[in-house]
Amino acid sequence: MDYPPPFCPPSDPSRGLLKSISRVLKSLGLGLLFGNQLLSAALAQSPPPGDTKGELVLFDFGDANDKQVRDATIARFNKRYPNVKVTDQFTPITSWPDYIDKLVTQVASGKAPDLIHIATEGAQLSIQKKLIIPLDEFTKTDPGNDLLSDIDPTLLKGFTVEGKLYLVPEAWNNMMIYYNTKIFKEAGIPRPADDWTWDDFLAIAKRLTSGEGSSKRFGFGIPYFNFGLTPFWYSNGTSVLKDDLKESNLSDPRFLEAVKFIHGLVHESGVSPDPANTDPNAVFQLFAAGRIAMTGGGHWPMQFFKANQFNDYDVVPWPRNKAQKTVFGAAGWGISSRTKQKALAWEMIKELAGTESERQAAGVGVAIPARSSVAESADFLAQPEHAGLFYKSLSYAAPVQAPVNYADVERILMRHLGQVMANEVTPEDGLKAADQELTEAMKNLGD
């Protein structure tokens, strides 16, 4: 659905004046081009005046560090618009399906927010259900907007449907391998090459695994959640769904190969502790404590490391098997289709995804900034040594698969993987059952 520009109604007296000027220019022989350029420039979007009154409600997610960044952003916005009350509905996130469900429920109850903070996992659902509007009326006509020119096109593509941008990326995350530099040095193991393989990875993990019982140190800790496991699929040339995101791909032999590799890290080589029934963040605690020599994560674990004054770490790209590839997911801000304050909401997005907000977020180690200029700043590159590899990974990363029924896809996959990892079923039988259930779930989507 297209949304007409809200600031230039037919009764706008400036339109008549500009048309008159255009006619005068033509009569003077100054040409149609100059007149049209003047008309277009004058009709460009202008921010609401500073004394505008209103209220904005943000549907938001994150932790204490994110809240700190958001509060500072709202304070800057209120310096420009002191008469606008901004309420940040900060929603603790346990999983993306849970967050998405809360958003849909709130909108259905008639309490829709004005701005929606959503990640790749919920973007398609939000667009299909018309929870958010296209932003082109602002991005193409706001003369003060420089957001998009500083953002990698790969991030923008993930929030674009049929040529229309629905969300402005403000942060993103990928999956890299974290390794304990102190443990590697003590073991006489050099930093892995950026193009290392699964075989290289497993050989190093075995060398770093030692001890018994409660004093055992593992070479690797599995990041046991959907996003964290995805690089294993991608680096083996496979994925949960086919490329059109409409059919299950779990019958692919390469997917079975990847599942067997993960299963073997626990039950064959013993280089990883059993991740069953554990908090996904526990692996980062074990890593910082020296109980695990390597693990997988995006940029977000760094805030935990900073809080615990842990600095003996660096990152290396995910090891490849069939290809060097990792996953990424972005978070962006969109304008609710139910808002009555579209112009103010756009100004709020410019603050939320602005340079100052992203610099502050980079400083506390929350996520990878969407703006390349911030990702290249000294603050962001200060730690770890190879921090520059985070943003560079966009050159070989692929977005997390996020169909409209993302919540169902994740639940089906992780439930059956849990049975495999617990040795309740074989990898073959577990994936066969998962494929059957996922195939039925995808049929329900329709065309």
CA pair distance 209, 335, nearest whole angstrom: 49
User: Residue 292 burial by CB count (10 A; 0-12/13-18/19+): exposed, middle or buried?
Assistant: buried
Q: Residues of the chain with pLDDT > 90: what percent? A: 71
Looking at the fold, whether 80 and 153 belong to one and the same domain comes out as yes
Q: Which of the residue ranges 17-31, 272-286, 413-427 would you say has the lowest mean pLDDT?
A: 17-31
Looking at the fold, whether 293 and 148 belong to one and the same domain comes out as no
User: Residue 109 burial by CB count (10 A; 0-12/13-18/19+): exposed, middle or buried?
Assistant: exposed
Q: Mapping DSSP to helix (H, G, I), strand (E, B) and coil, where does residue 2 land? A: coil
Looking at the fold, whether 310 and 188 belong to one and the same domain comes out as yes
Considering just the CA atoms, what is the radius of gyration of the chain in Å? 25
For the chain, the domain total comes to 2
Whether 287 maps to a domain, the answer reads yes
Q: pLDDT (tens digit, 9 = 90+) per residue, 53-111?
A: 999 999 999 888 889 999 999 999 999 999 999 999 988 777 777 888 888 889 889 99
Looking at the fold, whether 245 and 348 belong to one and the same domain comes out as no
**Domain residue limits at 140:** 54-174+328-399
Kindly state the average pLDDT of the residues 389-405: 95
Is the Cα dihedral 75, 343, 352, 140 positive or negative? Answer: negative
Q: Which of the residue ranges 8-22, 361-375, 389-403 would you say has the lowest mean pLDDT?
A: 8-22
Tokens of 394: 């966009």
Whether 44 maps to a domain, the answer reads no
- The chain-wide mean pLDDT, for the chain, equals 88
Count other C-beta atoms under 10 Å from residue 130's C-beta. 12
Looking at the fold, whether 355 and 281 belong to one and the same domain comes out as no
Answer yes or no: are the C-beta atoms of 414 and 129 closer than 8 Å: no
Domain end (from 399, 418, 433): 399
Whether 23 maps to a domain, the answer reads no
Whether 6 maps to a domain, the answer reads no
Whether 5 maps to a domain, the answer reads no
Q: Which of the residue ranges 169-178, 272-281, 328-337, 396-405 would you say has the lowest mean pLDDT?
A: 272-281
Count other C-beta atoms under 10 Å from residue 289's C-beta. 12
Domain end (from 366, 381, 399): 399
Looking at the fold, whether 332 and 197 belong to one and the same domain comes out as no
Q: Mapping DSSP to helix (H, G, I), strand (E, B) and coil, where does residue 44 land? A: coil
> How much is the pLDDT for 443?
92
Whether 15 maps to a domain, the answer reads no
Looking at the fold, whether 159 and 90 belong to one and the same domain comes out as yes
pTM: 0.85
Q: pLDDT (tens digit, 9 = 90+) per residue, 224-238?
A: 999 999 999 999 999
Q: pLDDT (tens digit, 9 = 90+) per residue, 169-202?
A: 999 999 999 999 999 999 999 999 999 999 999 9
> How much is the pLDDT for 150?
92
Q: Which of the residue ranges 123-132, 138-147, 153-162 would you say has the lowest mean pLDDT?
A: 138-147
Looking at the fold, whether 154 and 244 belong to one and the same domain comes out as no
Whether 183 maps to a domain, the answer reads yes
Q: What is the CATH number of the domain that holds 386?
A: 3.40.190.10
Looking at the fold, whether 237 and 309 belong to one and the same domain comes out as yes
CA pair distance 33, 321, nearest whole angstrom: 56
Tokens 């940040």, residue located: 88
Of 52, 72, 55, 73, the closest CA to residue 333 belongs to 73
CA pair distance 159, 108, nearest whole angstrom: 23
Whether 88 maps to a domain, the answer reads yes
> How much is the pLDDT for 2?
32
Answer yes or no: are the C-beta atoms of 115 and 58 closer than 8 Å: yes
Looking at the fold, whether 186 and 103 belong to one and the same domain comes out as no
Identify which has the larger pLDDT, 31 or 62: 62
Which segment, 101-105, 259-263, 298-302, is predicted with the most confidence on average?
Answer: 259-263
Looking at the fold, whether 307 and 318 belong to one and the same domain comes out as yes
Q: What would the DSSP string read from start to end of 258-304?
A: HHHHHHHHHHTS--S---TTS-TTHHHHHHHTTSBSEEEE-STHHHH
Looking at the fold, whether 274 and 421 belong to one and the same domain comes out as yes
> How much is the pLDDT for 278?
67
Q: Residues of the chain with pLDDT > 70: what percent? A: 88
Q: What would the DSSP string read from start to end of 217-259?
A: BBS-B---SHHHHHHHHHTTT--SB-TTSSSB-TT-HHHHHHH
